[in-house]
Amino acid sequence: MRVEGKGHAIDRTEKLSFQFDGKTIGGFAGDTLASALLANDVRLVGRSFKYHRARGIVSMGSEEPNALVTLKRGAAVVPNARATMQPIYQNLVAHSQNAWPSRSFDLLAANDLISPFLGAGFYYKTFMWPQSFWEKVYEPVIRRAAGLGALVPTYDGARFEKADAHCDVLVIGAGPAGLMAALTLGQAGLDVILADEHDAVGGQLLLETQTLDGLAGPAWAEEMATHLASMPNVRVMLNTTVTGAYDQGDFGALQRHGLDQAEPVHTLPEETFWRISTRRAVLCAGAQERHIAFPDNDRPGVMMAGAVRGYLNKFGVAAGQRVAVFANNDSAHQTALDLAAAGQSVTVLDSRSDAAAQGDYELLAGAQVVGTSGRQGLRKITFTQDGNTRSLACDCLGVSGGWNPMVHLTCHMNGRPTWDEDIASFVPTPGSIPGMVTAGSCGGLMETSAVLADGVNVAAAVAKDLGAVAPTPPIPATDARPTGLEPLWHVPGHGRGWLDFQNDVTTKDVQQAAQENFRSVEHMKRYTTQGMAPDQGKMSNVLALAVLADATGRGIPETGTTTFRPPYVPVSIAALGAGAHGKGFAPERFTTSHAATVARKAPLIEAGFWYRPSYFPQPGERTWRDSCDREVAMVRSAVGVCDVSTLGKIDIQGPDAGAFLDLVYTGRFSTLKVGKVKYGLMLREDGFVLDDGTTACLGENHFLMTTTTAAAGQVMRHLEFVHQCLRPDFNVSFASVTEQWAQFAVAGPKSRAVLDAVLDAPVTNKAFPVMGCGDFSVGGQNARLFRISFSGEHAYELAVPARFGAAVFDALLAAAEQQGGGPYGMEALNVLRIEKGFITHAEIDGRVTAGDLGMGKMVAVSKDCIGKTASARPGLNDPDRAQLVGLKPVGAVKKILAGAHLFNAGDDVHRTTDQGHVTSACFSPTLDSTLALGFLKNGRARIGETVVMVEHLNDLHVQVEVCDPVFFDPDGGRLRD
Amino acid sequence: MKIPCPLCGQRDSREFSYLGHASLMDRPAPDAGDAAWDDYLHNRENPAGVTEDLWSHDYGCAAWVVVTRNTVTHGILSARLAKEGTS
Ligand SMILES: [Zn+2]
């Protein structure tokens, strides 16, 4: 019901209509979904989670436990939107949740009838036995009935963002304390962010009739907003909930955008998750009114007393025709005063026997509500006073059990709040979050003038601490309002007193937990699930532990609180993961041959951030195998060109470069001659292989190391570690030159002919033998040539400055095609190296030693190196260790798959009989056979044996012969000729 | 979380990668014996309080940095260059 002359937030000239559960309802611009529903006397808005009890709106903020709805917004379906935080817009469509088939006739409400069996701990007790029933019966049934709201399983196209912000001081909450704090800090010249989760500043002032300096609260707040907006060093972030306090002054915050828009606005994301880095923070989160657990206090129409007057003052909505107030404190009397001033008759039931009326309304002092009735909404309350039980007709009951300071953020780093007898609630413990202080009612102050002054004083101290001093603003004058309170937590009687509305936890559940010896507050929470719903018990926590304290005979401070954890409000995964959808912001590294590769329609595969060609399809080729087989044969018979620029290249210089390489490689490099290349194996300090590659000596004290593509960054970090942390005395320095040089492998019997066509001077076999390197020129530009081979063929790698890479790749391909060759991709490269038994990170997976690879002799005896001592440990030299072997199918089935395990013929297939595993496998067109590399226990001594490869996914049992890992050209003649 | 790199100043911890305790700088001699190597490779104090560990400023200056921090409060107390040696 609307009340004339009230409702500063709505514009009565702009009428809007929207749908709730299919019914068209009217409201005004400025309404929230909750205020518009209340204005239309829609009191039943949803069903509770467990018992499917009828529930109505109780609050005005993000703490709302009941009025969660599903919104249809454009193509998006948004579950669990809080009706109290959602502005209405024309044609908004909202649905209630947890009700089937409808919210007024709900079949699962039968749960409520069997509630004696669904009390605290029912999951643990009921569904334990028989065990086999859990998977087949209990879990599916529970899953069907569980879950708040429902997600649409397809991506709806909604956009989300993540962003970083930095400031001197973050002020959290723009109520009276936050506004004064932001003003004080802003005037001191500090960079300030003022964040508030509502769509306007003012906090509680927007809900009250209190005046400041003669202005109505909302008008004063608006003036402050204008004033702060004029300060360039103050940023006000509305619709922004600070969700967590983290180390070193970092805060998480969730900003919601375009909430009043019918369709997502294309220039705005739905939500932004902010990471705010601060030097200091001032928490001005205010206080929240708490409930009293009297019987059937969850009936629609029972609301918080502050919300009843808030809806009246802000939206011009009377939450009922006939309102009663039940409270244990003075502040709730303001609800009666505001309603009476608007012409409504109100009765206040105050549990305090000495309570006095503050104005013209009926007061029942020493009265307690002991029951409510009304089928789908409140019709009547029953109460006791002076030993008599009477009833009172009303359709709205405003309840106030006092106010809880919003201490949540102060506890995010394991801080515990302190009990304050005066306000019968917890207040923040100073110093709980380094760099954060609290001001206003979140620190326990309940009087507006004190709150305003605290905002100024706390902020002034923060400013001074940061070395910024300026005159503080004057404190606005307000009328004093009484704040007396006498604790009242629960009222016994017939019917259940509800604590946690979202998880359906009652006083009886908490008492039962205590009775069954779940007396610790953390145990009670888990046993009853109190505070474990999406609202994290914002409204119920203090009340529940007061009931527990009573049941266990301890005081509330001794009972303590459960742990408050971020996020303060639910944060959608989409906001946390923003930027990671699809390619997102993942970097892409392209080689200089990328354009030519794409032009040849080569499918790309990712190698770290690099993109490399899988194969280069030719007309008539139907599968990747067709192309791969052709490319392998091409390299073996003519020549192939492959971009190998992605391998890490590290330029190493300095007088101690040789000694340094001796320390990081197993082999000796200090004696390597200029113009020579050597293969090197790098160990971790624990004796396992880190990486392998070649290093060339380009000049005196000048080396070029290559690493595998995958380990390039890791090796660079390792070299820096060895230098800076172990041998800072070495005069040596490194630079990654991976991106500076484009490098191409030219492999095959015709490779020299290709190079001669491209290089300015010809290469001779004699002057440039295997493992030689030197400077050449291509088109007058400097180039480096290395006679190294990863295919076993006569091969070179030609490196040119990256800016010439594309041109040189084209020239090499043109020359190769003249020789009956062409480009080859990763698939062929892999086959070529398996045929030769060359290893990659498929083999050196971090569990492999030099000895396992058959490279034990590469660990030089005469010098130390990283990993040498540990690699001598007996366990790493056990002959029973798995050793690198080649594998070839010998039975009817010819398939070998990487990842499959090896067993002795006749053994049970079991982990205890496991003999090893396959690391790489391919079809070799050269040898017309499937080939594989793998590790087999004591494998080198078992060459010629037949073992069984078992692969469960494809149900394969394949007879394989153990071979030498070098399948092709074991003498290496092709390399040298 | 931020780490004060001695070369780059206060930088976001996401620019760094973590290795382990600063005792990794005290590499034993090759002949120091099994016990010394076992300690070096495997055994770490796990203090509730102040500790020192090694971070690499990968997305910055590539310096290895010894960071003194408190495992209880998560406070970062100081940082120095590893190449300046153990404390
Ligand atoms: Zn740095």
- Asked if the structure places residue A432 within a domain, the reply is yes
In this model, does residue A133 exceed pLDDT 60?
Answer: no
Examine the domain organization and report whether A293 and A316 are in the same domain: yes
Enter the tokens of residue A126: 């009921």
Q: Mind listing the pLDDT tens digit for each residue in A653-677? A: 999 999 999 999 999 999 999 999 9
> Quick one: pLDDT at residue A494?
87
- Asked if the structure places residue A701 within a domain, the reply is yes
Distance from Cα B75 to the centre of ligand 1, integer Å: 19
CATH of residue A45's domain is: 3.10.20.440
- Asked if the structure places residue A710 within a domain, the reply is yes
Examine the domain organization and report whether A305 and A336 are in the same domain: yes
**Percent of all residues in chain A with a pLDDT value above 90, rounded to a whole number:** 83
Cα torsion A144, A145, A146, A149: sign: positive
Examine the domain organization and report whether A239 and A310 are in the same domain: no
Examine the domain organization and report whether A398 and A500 are in the same domain: yes
Please tell me which of the candidates B30, B40, B84 has its beta carbon nearest to residue A868: B30
| Nearest partner of A333 among A175, A207, A483, judged by Cα | A483
In this model, does residue A152 exceed pLDDT 90?
Answer: no
Whole-number Å distance between alpha carbons of A907 and A475? 87
Of A736, A765, A788, which residue sits at a domain end?
A: A736
Question: Do residues A737 and A651 make contact, with C-beta atoms less than 8 angstroms apart?
Answer: yes
| Nearest partner of A159 among A567, A585, A571, A579, judged by Cα | A579
Examine the domain organization and report whether A728 and A701 are in the same domain: yes
DSSP letters of A665-717? BSS--TTPPTTEEEEEEEE-TTSBEEEEEEEEEEETTEEEEEE-TTTHHHHHH
| Nearest partner of A902 among A867, A861, A936, A932, judged by Cα | A936
Query: In a 10 Å sphere around its CB, with 0-12 CB exposed, 13-18 middle and 19+ buried, how is residue A766 labelled?
Result: exposed
Question: Is the CB of residue A724 less than 8 Å away from at least one CB of chain B?
Answer: yes
Inter-chain residue contact A724 with B24, CB threshold 8 Å: no
User: Number of folded domains in chain A?
Assistant: 6
pLDDT category of residue A80 using cuts at 50, 70 and 90: confident
- Asked if the structure places residue A866 within a domain, the reply is no
Enter the tokens of residue A199: 């769509």
In this model, does residue A135 exceed pLDDT 70?
Answer: no
Spell A283-296 as b/e; 16+ CB within 10 A means b. Answer: bbbbbbbbbbbbbb
CATH of residue A963's domain is: 2.40.30.110
Whole-number Å distance between alpha carbons of A361 and A355? 13
Closest chain B C-alpha to A307 CA, distance in angstroms: 39
- Asked if the structure places residue A582 within a domain, the reply is no
In this model, does residue A936 exceed pLDDT 60?
Answer: yes
Domains of chain B with CATH codes? 2-84 (3.30.2270.10)
Q: Mind listing the pLDDT tens digit for each residue in A378-391? A: 999 999 999 999 99
Q: For residue A723, which residues of chain B lie inside 8 Å, CB to CB?
A: 83
Examine the domain organization and report whether A398 and A536 are in the same domain: yes
User: How confident is the prediction for chain A on average, in pLDDT?
Assistant: 93
Examine the domain organization and report whether A301 and A399 are in the same domain: yes
- The amino acid sitting at A617 is P
Whole-number Å distance between alpha carbons of A720 and A59? 59
pLDDT category of residue A156 using cuts at 50, 70 and 90: confident
> Quick one: pLDDT at residue A632?
98
Q: Give the pTM.
A: 0.87
Helix (H, G, I), strand (E, B) or coil at A947: strand
Average pLDDT score over residue span A55-76: 88
Which segment of A137-146, A214-223, A566-575 scores lowest on mean pLDDT?
A: A137-146
Q: Mind listing the pLDDT tens digit for each residue in A83-132? A: 999 999 999 999 988 665 566 666 556 566 556 556 666 555 555 555 56
In residues, how long is chain A?
977
- Asked if the structure places residue A472 within a domain, the reply is no
Please tell me which of the candidates B28, B58, B73 has its beta carbon nearest to residue A717: B58
Examine the domain organization and report whether A820 and A795 are in the same domain: yes
Helix (H, G, I), strand (E, B) or coil at A400: strand
Whole-number Å distance between alpha carbons of A561 and A570? 21
Bridge partners, A949 (sequence order): A902, A958
Inter-chain residue contact A724 with B2, CB threshold 8 Å: no
Examine the domain organization and report whether A824 and A728 are in the same domain: no
Which segment of A47-61, A83-97, A673-687, A779-793 scores lowest on mean pLDDT?
A: A47-61
> Quick one: pLDDT at residue A137?
58
Give the ranges where A262-393 is alpha helix by DSSP (H): 305-315, 333-341
CATH of residue A780's domain is: 3.30.1360.120
Across A284-366, the runs of DSSP E, i.e. the strands, are: 287-289, 302-304, 323-327, 346-350, 362-365
DSSP collapsed to 3 states, A505-573: EEHHHHHHHHHCCCCCHHHHHHHHCCCCCCCCCCCCHHHHHHHHHHHHCCCHHHHCCCCCCCCCCCCCH
Listed in sequence order, the residues at least 6 apart from A356 whose beta carbon sits closer than 8 Å to its beta carbon are: A363, A365
Inter-chain residue contact B37 with A250, CB threshold 8 Å: no
Q: Mind listing the pLDDT tens digit for each residue in A322-361? A: 999 999 999 999 999 999 999 998 999 999 999 999 999 9
User: A619: cis peptide before it, omega within 30°?
Assistant: no
Listed in sequence order, the residues at least 6 apart from A335 whose beta carbon sits closer than 8 Å to its beta carbon are: A305, A306, A308, A309, A323, A325, A346, A398, A400
Give the ranges where chain B is alpha helix by DSSP (H): 34-42
The span from the first CA to the last CA of chain A, in angstroms, equals 97
Examine the domain organization and report whether A373 and A504 are in the same domain: yes
> Quick one: pLDDT at residue A72?
84
- Asked if the structure places residue A566 within a domain, the reply is no
Closest chain B C-alpha to A726 CA, distance in angstroms: 6
Question: Do residues A493 and A38 make contact, with C-beta atoms less than 8 angstroms apart?
Answer: no
Q: Mind listing the pLDDT tens digit for each residue in A178-196? A: 999 999 999 999 999 999 9
In residues, how long is chain B?
87
> Quick one: pLDDT at residue A53?
86
DSSP letters of A819-843? TT-EE--HHHHHHHHHHTT---TTT
Q: For residue B76, which residues of chain A lie inside 8 Å, CB to CB?
A: 248
**Percent of all residues in chain A with a pLDDT value above 70, rounded to a whole number:** 95
Examine the domain organization and report whether A636 and A748 are in the same domain: yes
Q: For residue B85, which residues of chain A lie inside 8 Å, CB to CB?
A: 728
CATH of residue A204's domain is: 3.50.50.60
pLDDT category of residue A49 using cuts at 50, 70 and 90: confident
> Quick one: pLDDT at residue A262?
76
| Nearest partner of A656 among A737, A735, A728, A738, judged by Cα | A728
Query: In a 10 Å sphere around its CB, with 0-12 CB exposed, 13-18 middle and 19+ buried, how is residue B78 labelled?
Result: exposed
Inter-chain residue contact A717 with B73, CB threshold 8 Å: no
Of A833, A860, A894, which residue sits at a domain end?
A: A833
Across A687-801, the runs of DSSP E, i.e. the strands, are: 689-699, 702-707, 733-736, 741-747, 773-778, 781-786, 795-801
What domain range is A778 assigned to? 594-646+740-833
CA distances from A363 to A50, A326, A366, A383 (A): 37, 10, 10, 13
Question: Taking ligand 1, which is a single-atom ion, which protein residues have CB atoms under 5 Å away?
Answer: B 5, 7-8, 57, 60-61, 63
Distance from Cα A587 to the centre of ligand 1, integer Å: 22
Question: Do residues A393 and A322 make contact, with C-beta atoms less than 8 angstroms apart?
Answer: yes
Listed in sequence order, the residues at least 6 apart from A175 whose beta carbon sits closer than 8 Å to its beta carbon are: A196, A202, A203, A204, A205, A284, A286, A440, A441, A451
Closest chain A C-alpha to B74 CA, distance in angstroms: 7
pLDDT category of residue A740 using cuts at 50, 70 and 90: very high
Which segment of A97-111, A453-467, A789-803 scores lowest on mean pLDDT?
A: A97-111
- Asked if the structure places residue A618 within a domain, the reply is yes
Enter the tokens of residue A635: 């390299």
Question: Do residues B48 and B58 make contact, with C-beta atoms less than 8 angstroms apart?
Answer: no
ipTM of the complex: 0.98
> Quick one: pLDDT at residue A167?
98
Examine the domain organization and report whether A300 and A368 are in the same domain: yes
Of A802, A817, A833, which residue sits at a domain end?
A: A833
Spell A597-619 as b/e; 16+ CB within 10 A means b. Answer: beebebbbeeeeebbbbbbbbee
